[in-house]
Amino acid sequence: MNKTVVVAGHKTLISTDLPFLTPFKKGKVREVYEIGEHLLIIATDRISAFDVVMDTPIPKKGVYLTAQSSYWFKELEKAGYPTHFVTDDFDEIVKITGITELNSVKDDLDGRVMLGKKAAALPIEAICRFRIFGSALSALKNSTWIWEPITLEGELEPGVKIVNGPAFTPTDKSETDEKITFEQMTELVGNDKNLALQVKELSVGIFQFANKKAIAELGFEIADGKVEYGILNDELILIDETFTSDSTRFMPDKSKEVFRQWLISNGLKGKAATIPDDVAMEVSKLYREQCQSMGITLK
């Protein structure tokens, strides 16, 4: 049985239980099942911050995340970037996979599922930054910036723009997401310098593409964010989620960053917090508004 709970009067999805499928990975937010060459990626309503999953889920968060991610995957595919994306249409997923049992849980899952091509995930997070925030600000302040030198458009303060951004600032995929140099990243991707360069160049290209579109057509900016890659048939492809409120910092900010700040100002950083109804709804609204700024029509 899938696990749900009512938050502020809304049914929210905590976790899934699909005995007719093979589990592939249970992440902090998403639950992934393996169907042959495909992965069924389900975004629950869980929210994690500072690597801890909160006690309270956020109404419809999984639906908003899936919609945001699917939007970018479709745009990136159209622009010729290779991605894992197959479809986010529930009926099409049933048709492609032939798993008719899914129809019995359509109510819980519709809008939260994406079918992706299964790849061998690289153990790194490809972070790109157009502006300096968060850990990048600390790194510059403490002289622990380990990536290519950058020039700032102004004083070192939160939000300052990087001249000729985005800067490529990868981390590993350990529990604590340690920042790694380009050389360390090269080691992590199998000592393959060509592959490492490809990861960097593709990331910069993808971020430039998305930010240009966001500024010109959607009325927001991407300040920083992360994408992930996998290898499929010897090809580097974009996997996981892309430019969502969980993975990206937008300006104006309609991302998880706003929730992180709430945790910090309430002394809850690093705790599995119980979120009051009004805060849960505020976060849900932010994620929905990000969908709206992307012109997404929600069912």
Ligand X SMILES: Nc1ncnc2c1ncn2[C@@H]1O[C@H](COP(=O)(O)OP(=O)(O)OP(=O)(O)O)[C@@H](O)[C@H]1O
Give the binding site for ligand X (CB under 6 A): 25, 27-30, 32, 39, 41, 48, 84, 116-119, 121, 228, 230, 239-240
Tokens 């510059």 sit at which residue? 140
Q: How many CB atoms lie within 10 A of CB 247?
A: 22
Annotate 28-44 with DSSP letters as a single string.
Answer: SSEEEEEETTEEEEEE-
Residue 137's nearest CA partner among 151, 119, 154, 158 is: 158
Q: Measuring CA to CA, how many Å separate 145 from each of 62, 96, 135, 149, 186?
A: 34, 46, 10, 8, 18
Task: State the nearest-atom distance from the C-beta of 254 to ligand X, in Å.
Answer: 19
Nearest to 240 by CA among 110, 96, 86, 85: 85
Q: Work out how close the CB of 42 gets to ligand X at its nearest, in angstroms, rounded to a whole number.
A: 9
Amino acid at 181: T
Closest by Cα among 62, 59, 84 to 74 = 84
H or E element in which residue 7 lies: strand 3-7
Token representation of residue 81:
């970037």
Q: Contact, 220 vs 251, CB < 8 A?
A: yes
CB distance 128 to 166 below 8 Å: yes
Select from 104, 114, 14, 115 the least CA-distant residue to 56: 14
Decide: helix, strand or coil at residue 100.
helix
Residue in the block written with tokens 């959607």: 218
Min dist. Cβ of residue 170 to ligand X (A): 14
